[in-house]
Chain A
């Protein structure tokens, strides 16, 4: 081994050790627990694949997976459309105003999920009821008390939180579009609409790779917002997979079973992320 090689590994060692202790070892321990009946205190028996077999008939878990998938689709679309719209708005040449709006749009992202959840719970329960009483519009009544409004409540909350963050990514890509291309398009007689869709849009495709990846994986992992806004209610109909896993582990105290759910969930997220990255990367290279 050369000296260079040795120092290379030496410098890497602390990080590798840390990763080993907090990530890799617990991961394998987790895989082991998923094959046992474990209450968090002691492993009572080794049950093989029984936990995984039970999963297939756990209707609440399967429901939560479907719900999470629906939530992710709705919020990924919402966040990217609104984030991009914001980015286009604030990259117009408006001077100081656009800096102000950038800050405002980004701000929800600085608030923690739990607090956001409670803020929106207040809006949906109190402010909406106030609006309903004032205007007599039934649309604003009874939010979060049924599955539909619970679902859209969560989507609105998450879109509101993430749009500003995704906006920042789009802004940086929009600013990097070469001026001469836009000028050339203008000289060729393209109007604003055309120069956006035909020139800018194809050039910011790489931004979609990043943004979709971030929003998709974050939407799947939402827990605190869900916990604070609806806590899975009414009747467990807005319970996301993360909450289902947490409840199994810490409310029912069935850690082994919860661990098997977590592993299935991990595999699903990994698959979706890899597929998404593969597809968008392919789009990038085609250009």
Chain B
């Protein structure tokens, strides 16, 4: 009995506390409360900081952020919020499948300042029938992230790589001088990570879908129009990669091999910049660059860049709350303070026009921003694959090919089949 009374009290207390905190959340006079559901764990602190500044400028606004990280968990957590009638006012959308899922709630954002200033094409991934339902969070771009220094020491000028043939030559030249350059291999492709494989495949599926998110989302077949080139690239990587490629994970590939200059390039994107900075301040500034893949033609190379997430606004909330949510997002992306925070604090590549390239902190990100403005980029085709396709179909089959268990024809056949089945 002695143990039980405190225990019961504890339960009662916590119940009371729970009720209490629920009660105090509502009824705040004329204060408007916005609930934001955030998935970008990496920039949680920056978001909190931005919100603090916004709240101090707008006294009548109170913003609560819920951050849930880690891909699938976040998606289910958001779903749980909606099923339990605690819908957030602003939440992140991954792509068209999310838009379709939450379409009943989502607000048409086309009249918002932050939608008008969004770079042409960045709204495609969140539009149904030409109506945009979200504001792009930022731009993320990927391709071959290279160490310029190693290239130059091997006598290869990165700028001179302007076709698939010159790329292969460069790889061979670097490989022949491995010992002098002090590297283990040319590529550090992490064949253990499903998302790396998925992004890699995007270079070859984006042109098949005309670089158009809607086409990719509606397509129920994947025919590997550029499958031959994909095979060439895959074979090249596999031949000159750190082995065993199948157990090379992200952290070994980027944080160990690439940062310590033991490989010349990895297939990654601008998100590796912060982790490069944390190890060696000068790396991103002086040595990092990005190379495109030559897919549609031998001469024209493209990286993949575009918004990876979009802010959606819950239009089912009361009018005041919706208005404030719109104001907040507009402020975040189009006001001077917002712009400064986005580039310097978040270190994002902005998805909006009107940013000075000098504001972007590292040259590679600036390069990607320019390419996006010039529309010289492919789209994140992998975001339009059927749910789970990259992880349970594409990735294991790709690994089987790398391991020599299946030939390329079998790979293409299985993948096309699963694509259609899972759509």
A252 touches B392 (CB 8 A): yes
> How far, in whole Å, are A88 and B263 apart by their CA atoms in the complex?
51
CB of A48 within 8 A of chain B? no
Q: Which of A143, A235, A253 contacts B397 (CB 8 A)?
A: A235
Given contacts A234-B399, A236-B392, A252-B388, whether A142 and B101 have CB atoms under 8 Å apart is no
Contacts of B391 in A (CB 8 A): 247, 251
Interface of A is mostly: loop
How many chain A residues touch B (CB < 8 A): the figure is: 22
- Indicate with 1 or 0, residue by residue over A144-172, a CB within 8 angstroms of chain B CB atoms: 11100000000000000000000000000
CB of A40 within 8 A of chain B? yes
A251 touches B388 (CB 8 A): yes
B83 touches A253 (CB 8 A): no
CB of A9 within 8 A of chain B? no
B246 touches A233 (CB 8 A): yes
- Indicate with 1 or 0, residue by residue over B51-81, a CB within 8 angstroms of chain A CB atoms: 0000000000000000000001101100100
B72 touches A236 (CB 8 A): no
A235 touches B247 (CB 8 A): no
B392 touches A247 (CB 8 A): yes
CB of A250 within 8 A of chain B? yes
Contacts of A234 in B (CB 8 A): 192, 246-247, 396, 399, 403
CB of A82 within 8 A of chain B? no
Q: A144: shortest Cβ distance to chain B, in Å?
A: 5
Contacts of A69 in B (CB 8 A): none
CB of A41 within 8 A of chain B? yes
Contacts of A40 in B (CB 8 A): 76, 79
Contacts of B73 in A (CB 8 A): 250
B422 touches A252 (CB 8 A): yes
Q: Which of B75, B399, B422 contacts A233 (CB 8 A)?
A: B399
CB of B244 within 8 A of chain A? yes
Give the nearest-CB partner of A40 in chain B. Answer: B79
Given contacts A235-B399, A235-B400, A250-B76, whether A145 and B244 have CB atoms under 8 Å apart is yes
13 pairs, A vs B, C-beta closer than 8 Å = A41-B79, A41-B83, A146-B246, A234-B246, A234-B247, A235-B246, A235-B397, A236-B396, A247-B392, A250-B75, A251-B72, A252-B387, A253-B388
- Residue positions of A touching B, CB distance < 8 A: 40-41, 60, 125, 142-146, 231-237, 247-248, 250-253
- Residue positions of B touching A, CB distance < 8 A: 72-73, 75-76, 79, 82-83, 101, 192, 243-247, 249, 252, 386-388, 391-392, 395-397, 399-400, 403, 405, 422
